[in-house]
Amino acid sequence: MEAIVVTENLEESMKNSSLGNATETQKKNRIQVSNSKKPLFFYINLAKRYIKQYNDVELSALGMAIPSVVTIAEILKRNGVATQKKILTSTVDMKWETNGRTVQKAKIEIVLGKPEDSDNQAAATAVAADAAAATPAEENADKKE
């Protein structure tokens, strides 16, 4: 198996992409997903932690790892943890170490943010849980009287 070396500089790609005005926070909350190094739920939990800490997260992948990033983003959106802000696709020139041949790889970047109503939703869930817990006790008290 031959190794591939990425010839694209990440800082340069940030300047050239539409995220050119990236702040220091966006660099800290970037997750580069691999479909062979870590399990899918590792990236899901890491993304949840980044969303809580930074209010958004950038998921990035090359080639065969792209379906993993899409799956992670869809799970986070379906569970109400995140909303989709931006999707960027591009190609990256890769250079084989052994023969120096250049190939192009597909690249995807998905930016997810904290849902706007997440604070209200958490409060509503807590109130609903309290109401559900109190209701059976009140009904039993009414039946005893």
pLDDT for residue 137 is more than 50: no
Q: Which pLDDT score, from 0 to 100, does residue 74 have?
A: 97
Rounded mean pLDDT of 107-113? Answer: 97
Q: Which of 97, 112, 91 lies closest to 46 in space, CA to CA?
A: 112
Give the three-class secondary structure for 26.
helix
Q: CA distances (Å), 39 to each of 33, 45, 76, 128, 142, in order?
A: 10, 11, 15, 34, 51
Q: Beta strand pairing status for 4-6 and 83-96? A: antiparallel
More confident residue, 78 or 137: 78
CATH of domain 4-114: 3.30.110.20
Q: Is the dihedral of CA 58, 61, 65, 70 positive or negative?
A: positive
pLDDT for residue 133 is more than 90: no
Instruction: Give the pLDDT band (50/70/90) at residue 60.
Output: very high
% of the chain surpassing 70 pLDDT: 62
pLDDT for residue 70 is more than 50: yes
Residues in the chain: 145
Question: What are φ and ψ of residue 116, in 5° steps?
Answer: -65, -35
Q: Which pLDDT score, from 0 to 100, does residue 97 have?
A: 85
pTM of the model: 0.63
| Beta strand extents in the chain (DSSP E only) | 4-6, 30-32, 56-62, 83-96, 102-113
Q: Which pLDDT score, from 0 to 100, does residue 96 have?
A: 84
